[in-house]
Structure 1
Amino acid sequence: MKVLAIDTSSMVATCAVLDEEKVLGEYNLNQDMTHSERLIPMIKVIMDSLNLKIEEIDLFAGAVGPGSFTGLRIGLATIKSLAHVVDKPVLGISTLEALAFNIPFGGIVVPIMDARRNRVFTGIYQWENGILINRFEPTIMEIDELIEKVQSFEEKVVFNGDGTAIYKDSISEKLGSKAIFAPIHLNGARASSLGELAMLKWNRGQRENYFDLVPEYLRESQAQREYKKR
């Protein structure tokens, strides 16, 4: 099985092709939010470099959020269009779950993505018998509320995601040695993690189609909030 995975939910644009044994190719770019201009060329570079045609992809995987409203729409529209053209299945993967999957750690992993105004998108995950279990569903909350929740855990906790660069000092001050921070190369979205997760879920029987795949924003867009104010 060959999987094409993409994630444009954050500043990072990432795409990867992998099979059940290895990552065949991955392209990550963390520069600006020009995903609409760069995503298709990135996919083309990987596919051409691997001498693969889109018809040879068996499963398409895309990040469903949370994250940037525009980025999510671009990524999902792309993955759904490609799957539709070749009539192949798709799977949507939580951005937070894919971030947690970056950490091969036999304990608790807490990915945090900056949601501004001292808030983060977050979830709480734990490895059990080699399987990543969701202990707390993806949500948006104040960073202090998350720290308070984590304080009740006896185990050490690994934090990763772009929110660590912003809130590392606050987390360290209140959690001390209980908090472990991932190295920078594991803080960003990786399409290879997302693709492997999609393959695992597919093998466990999870199924979706390109008509039903939609973003999971977890909050209203700025345009919606401003409209309500008016």
Structure 2
Amino acid sequence: MNYLAIDTSTMISTVTVADDREILGDFNVNQSKTHSESLVPMIENLLDLLGMTVADIDKFIIAEGPGSFTGLRIGMTIAKTLAQVEEKDLITISTLKAMAAGSTSVRAKLPLIDARATRVYAALYDENLEEIIPANLYEIDDLANIVNEKGLEIEMIGLLNDKYSDKFERAKKAPININNCIGRNLIRLAQEEKLQSKPLYEISPNYLRKSQAEREFEKK
């Protein structure tokens, strides 16, 4: 079984290819280009280096969000197109859960994604990746109060660790190697949890909030 995982939840474009035994290849690029410019060439180049084609992929995996609205739309559109053309399964996995899956700490895991201003997308997971605090959009101070009330030792995961580490009691910052680039974690979760594909028409990004255009429309 061959897998191809995609993540475009943040500024980093990630493409990972694996089989049932090992990671075969992994591209992660944080760049000024948009995902629409970089993602397809990354997929093509990685598969070419591995001597594979898209037809060799048995299952596609996509990080469904939360994260960048534009990035999620681009990644999801490309993943759905590949799955539809090749008539293969597409598996969706929470970006936050995939971030948490990179940690081997016994601490509770707190992945954070920037939602601009003082807001973050976040969830709190135990060592078995079960939710302690549900994935949602939070004001950082509100989230800190909720987490601190739990009295748990936590590991902060993501690129906001330095910015917000003083908000959380009993917090440790995750090492740099697990703060982003989650393609390998997507592969792991798809394999270990034996996740099933949904019909493509049912699959869409999980934004966890309405877009600015939707919010403006509702005001009118």
Q: TM-score range by the shorter chain?
A: over 0.9
Which residue does 2:187 correspond to in 1? 195
Q: Percent identity?
A: 40
Which residue does 1:99 correspond to in 2? 99
Which residue does 2:200 correspond to in 1? 210
CA distance in 2, matches of 1:181, 1:92: 27
TM-score by length of 1: 0.90
Deviation of 1:155 after TM superposition, in Å, equals 3.1
Which residue does 2:156 correspond to in 1? 159
Which residue does 2:35 correspond to in 1? 35
Q: Deviations over 1:20-45 (max 9, x none)?
A: 22111000011235100000000011
Q: Deviations over 1:182-207 (max 9, x none)?
A: 12221113211112212223x2x533
Total equivalences in the alignment: 220
CA distance in 2, matches of 1:2, 1:135: 33
Q: Which amino acid aligns with 2:69?
A: F
**Unaligned regions of 5+ residues in structure 1, if any?**
none
Deviation of 1:152 after TM superposition, in Å, equals 2.4
CA distance in 1, matches of 2:152, 2:69: 34
CA distance in 1, matches of 2:36, 2:148: 40
Distance 1:33 1:9, change over 3 A: farther
- 1:68 matched to 2:68? The reply is yes
Distance 1:33 1:200, change over 3 A: farther
Q: Deviations over 1:63-86 (max 9, x none)?
A: 111111111010011111111111
CA distance in 1, matches of 2:96, 2:199: 21
- 1:169 matched to 2:166? The reply is yes
Say which SS state the counterpart of residue 40 (structure 2) adopts. Answer: helix
CA distance in 1, matches of 2:131, 2:30: 27
CA distance in 1, matches of 2:74, 2:125: 27
- 1:2 matched to 2:17? The reply is no
TM-score by length of 2: 0.94
Q: Which runs of 4+ in 1 moved over 6 A?
A: none
For 2:144, which of 147, 150, 157 is the aligned residue?
147
Deviation of 1:125 after TM superposition, in Å, equals 0.8
Structure-to-structure mapping, 1:115-154, within 5 angstroms? 115-128=115-128, 132-154=129-151
Which residue does 1:227 correspond to in 2? 217
Say which SS state the counterpart of residue 48 (structure 1) adopts. Answer: helix
CA distance in 2, matches of 1:100, 1:225: 30
CA distance in 2, matches of 1:25, 1:154: 40
CA distance in 2, matches of 1:186, 1:63: 16
Deviation of 1:123 after TM superposition, in Å, equals 0.7
Say which SS state the counterpart of residue 10 (structure 1) adopts. Answer: coil
Q: Which amino acid aligns with 2:78?
A: T
Q: Is the 8 A contact 1:15 1:190 kept in 2?
A: no
Higher relative contact order (CA closer than 8 Å, sequence separation 6+): 1
Which residue does 1:53 correspond to in 2? 53
Q: Is the 8 A contact 2:121 2:137 kept in 1?
A: yes
